[in-house]
Structure 1
Amino acid sequence: MQIRACQLDAETGDAKARMAAIRWLTGDAASDGADVVVFPELALTGYGAGDEIRDLAETIDGPTVAELQRLADEHGIAVITGLALREAQGVVNAALVALPRRKPIVYAKQHLYGDYEKALFTPGRVPSGLFEIAGMKAAVLVCFDVEFPERVRELAVAGAEIVFVPTALPASDGARFVAEKIVPVRAFENQIFIVYVDHVGSDARFAYQGLSCIAAPDGTRITAAPDDQFAILSASIDRADYAESRVQNPYLAELAAHRDR
């Protein structure tokens, strides 16, 4: 699988400017042969836009999702991004997966972080489902979700080989630990790949940690972005390259064996 992950500058601009950036970056990723391009949490509005996020939220059949699906269809590339969606239960902080010539997939963030998010969104209640990109079984989580080992483990047990995580991680010592340590550990303990994509820079409310990365089953960060600038990460991954890691660290196989005893 060829992956393109885009760490966006928080000062990219309004929703129109952000869509223009996503449109250009998607075309560029496709021209380089990427199978999937990934953007941060709430990439279409910016994470710190406050009540404007709710005001701009559309349903899944609105023009924003239609445009993302059009990009996926036109370029033959999967587009994964965070955005707010209006559902029957309220506005959710969602990850949208637009797959070429398929119905879009939506996952609503289950673990809302802090009073800011809890005032804006309704938490999701449905686990992330699996889908396929370039022959690999994939799933999505959103930001804080990945910090809960249960959320990643349930996807790995279900068969996920790679988990995409749009995020908006505010800068702090603890946030650096999450990006540099926890995310690779989640990949290692579940023997999967994790694509973790943050904002960088500042908006009116928050400064962001950056440090987006693609983590591998052996706990390494195949590639990582800096903490202070826009960045595009590219990687080619093959599950077979990490067969030895699975032999040495057979966590999922041991769990399955334990259940069968």
Structure 2
Amino acid sequence: MRIAIHQMMSVDRSVADNIAHLDQACADAKTDAADLVIFPEMALTGYNIGADRIRQLAQLRDGAMVQSLRDMAKRHAIGVLCGFPEADGAQVFNAAALIDASGTMLSVCRKVHLFGAVDRAAFSAADALCPLVQFGDWSVGLAICYDVEFPELVRAYALAGADAVLVPTANMLPYIGVATRVVPARAEENEIYVAYANRVGTEGAFEYCGLSCVTGPDGVDLARAGNKEEMIFAELSKDHLLQVRHALSHLSDRRPDLYR
């Protein structure tokens, strides 16, 4: 499976302008033969835009915003994973929709761990992990930003049989260690691929740190962005996954009887 990550420049765009931007990115990713393009956390609206604006923009998962993602996925024949604010009754969730190349919605992930005032003012926390989902031949777990910093969450996906964890994020300075240390560690300790799609530029008081990456199950980067807007690509290989799992033994050597 070939993955593209579109590391976006944070600009105060309208939703319509963001949709046009994402649509062009889908076209670019498809031109480079990607099977899936991953966009950052809250890519459809912006992230640090204030709780009131998020509530105004939030839509149901079958609303027009997500339908636009489904349309572009089908039009370009490419899978899409993209963040958006999901309305559900009186609640709003920091969510991401995974859509296949036919435009079929495969899953909507809701953020489990809320980060600071920016999340807590605007969103409710999910009350369960997003179930694993099949994307082609791959079993994938979905997480959003801060979620990947909790080893229990990624380990739960690995124990459930995940081949990869896909992470839309909006990570800011000074927390570059998440991209450079945490993500490779999560991949290696769980013998899975981790794809981490971040922003760059400024949004309110946040300066996003970029460094989007795809890390292999041995903890080695397959692709790594810098601190500018760019698209990176990586090939995920089932053969490499099996080779690493034969060489490493973190999961099989666990002693869960001692951890309780």
**TM-score interval for Structure 1 and Structure 2 normalised by the shorter chain:** over 0.9
Q: Per the alignment, in what secondary structure is the counterpart of residue 116 of structure 1?
A: helix
**Counterpart amino acid of residue 236 in structure 1:** E
Deviation string 1:24-43 (CA, Å, 9 cap, x unpaired) is: 11122123221100000010
> Does 1:240 find its partner at 2:242?
no
Contact 2:48 2:118 in 1 (8 A): no
In the other structure, the counterpart of 2:84 is 83
How many angstroms does 1:96 deviate by? Answer: 0.9
In the other structure, the counterpart of 1:252 is 251
**Counterpart amino acid of residue 46 in structure 1:** G
In the other structure, the counterpart of 2:230 is 231
Count of residues paired in the alignment: 256
**Counterpart amino acid of residue 116 in structure 1:** V
Counterparts of 2:4 and 2:196, CA distance in 1: 11
Deviation string 1:156-181 (CA, Å, 9 cap, x unpaired) is: 11111011100010110xx1111101
How many angstroms does 1:124 deviate by? Answer: 0.5
Deviation string 1:120-167 (CA, Å, 9 cap, x unpaired) is: 000011212122223111121000000000110111111110111000
In the other structure, the counterpart of 2:30 is 30
Match for residue 173 of structure 2 among 160, 171, 174: 171
In the other structure, the counterpart of 1:11 is 11
How many angstroms does 1:71 deviate by? Answer: 1.5
Q: Which runs of 4+ in 1 moved over 6 A?
A: 256-259
Q: Per the alignment, in what secondary structure is the counterpart of residue 49 of structure 1?
A: coil
**Counterpart amino acid of residue 248 in structure 2:** N
> Does 1:118 find its partner at 2:120?
yes
How many angstroms does 1:98 deviate by? Answer: 1.3
Contact 1:128 1:155 in 2 (8 A): no
In the other structure, the counterpart of 2:59 is 58
> Does 1:92 find its partner at 2:93?
yes
In the other structure, the counterpart of 1:148 is 150
**Counterpart amino acid of residue 243 in structure 2:** E
In the other structure, the counterpart of 2:140 is 138
Q: Per the alignment, in what secondary structure is the counterpart of residue 253 of structure 1?
A: coil
Q: Which runs of 5+ in 2 are unaligned?
A: none
Counterparts of 2:243 and 2:233, CA distance in 1: 24
Contact 1:170 1:208 in 2 (8 A): yes
How many angstroms does 1:12 deviate by? Answer: 6.0
Map residues 201-240 of structure 1 onto 2, 5 A cutoff: 201-227=201-227, 229-240=228-239
Counterparts of 1:60 and 1:215, CA distance in 2: 29
For the aligned residue pairs, the C-alpha RMSD in angstroms reads 1.8
**Counterpart amino acid of residue 235 in structure 1:** A
Q: Per the alignment, in what secondary structure is the counterpart of residue 231 of structure 2?
A: strand
**Counterpart amino acid of residue 134 in structure 1:** G
Q: Per the alignment, in what secondary structure is the counterpart of residue 55 of structure 1?
A: helix
Q: Per the alignment, in what secondary structure is the counterpart of residue 252 of structure 1?
A: coil
Contact 2:164 2:193 in 1 (8 A): yes
Q: Which runs of 5+ in 1 are unaligned?
A: none
Sort the Cα spacing of 1:60 and 1:4 in 2 relative to 1 into closer, same or farther, 3 A.
same
